[in-house]
């Protein structure tokens, strides 16, 4: 009995792949249906658009780096601080990073938010404003990369929250 819903879904799968028909009525209103009607044309549906984020580079040991070896004692994001709530920013979040000792000229930084590379982050910069940050929970990670783009060191992730005002919530 508990397999009945699964069986019903399997039977319904071919129906979900049915053809779609489109036509205009006498008033010029466009209609769609899964049943052909006189004067209707079949709509060719394309596969949905998808997005696969580029993976965060895997950590590698300093001994396997082909670039100038440099042991960083500290790579961190200090702004926003961990578990911080950023309120009423219109989607802009200021990020500040720290690398000790100073970043080697042959290395560069990459900032990741929610596992995706933040475009526009300056490769040698330590401060940046991320725009269009949606409300909710986010995680930032900073990576030091060599000239080939291989990861030398990765910061601890910093989780923060963006709170935007709402007309539904009275202060």
Position 34 confidence tier, pLDDT thresholds 50, 70, 90? confident
Instruction: Please determine, for residue 61, whether its predicted confidence score (pLDDT) is greater than 60.
Output: no
**Parallel/antiparallel/unpaired status of strands 84-87 and 158-163:** parallel
11 versus 111: which is more confidently predicted?
111
Report how far residue 56's alpha carbon sits from residue 157's, in angstroms, rounded to the nearest whole number. 12
Residue 92 φ then ψ, to 5°: -110, 130
Give pLDDT, residue 66.
43
Encode pLDDT of 127-166 as tens digits: 999 998 988 999 999 999 999 999 999 999 999 999 877 6
Instruction: List the one residue out of 150, 161, 152, 74 whose CA is nearest residue 114.
Output: 161
More confident position, 25 or 11: 25
User: Does the pLDDT at position 45 exceed 90?
Assistant: no
Q: What is the mean pLDDT of the chain?
A: 81
CATH architecture of 62-163: Sandwich (2.60)
Asked if residues 117 and 54 have their Cβ atoms less than 8 Å apart, the reply is yes
Q: What are the domain boundaries of the chain? A: 17-45, 62-163
User: Residue 89: is the preceding peptide bond cis (ω within 30°)?
Assistant: no
């Amino acid at each position: 009995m508990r397999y009945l819903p699964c069986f019903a879904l399997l039977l319904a799968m071919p129906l979900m792949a049915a053809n779609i028909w489109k036509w205009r009525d006498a008033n010029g209103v466009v209609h769609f249906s899964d049943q052909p009607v006189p004067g209707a044309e079949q709509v060719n549906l394309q596969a949905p658009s998808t997005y696969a984020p580029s993976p965060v580079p895997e950590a590698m040991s300093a001994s396997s780096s082909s670039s100038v070896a440099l042991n960083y004692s500290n790579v961190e994001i200090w702004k926003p601080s961990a578990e911080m709530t950023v309120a009423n920013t219109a989607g802009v979040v200021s990020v500040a990073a720290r690398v000790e000792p100073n970043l080697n000229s042959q290395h560069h930084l990459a900032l990741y938010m929610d596992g995706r590379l933040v475009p526009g982050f300056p490769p040698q910069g330590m401060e940046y404003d991320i725009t269009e940050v949606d409300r909710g929970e986010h995680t930032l990670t900073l990576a030091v990369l060599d000239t080939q783009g291989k990861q030398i060191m990765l910061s601890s992730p910093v989780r923060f929250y963006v709170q935007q005002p709402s007309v539904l919530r009275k202060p």
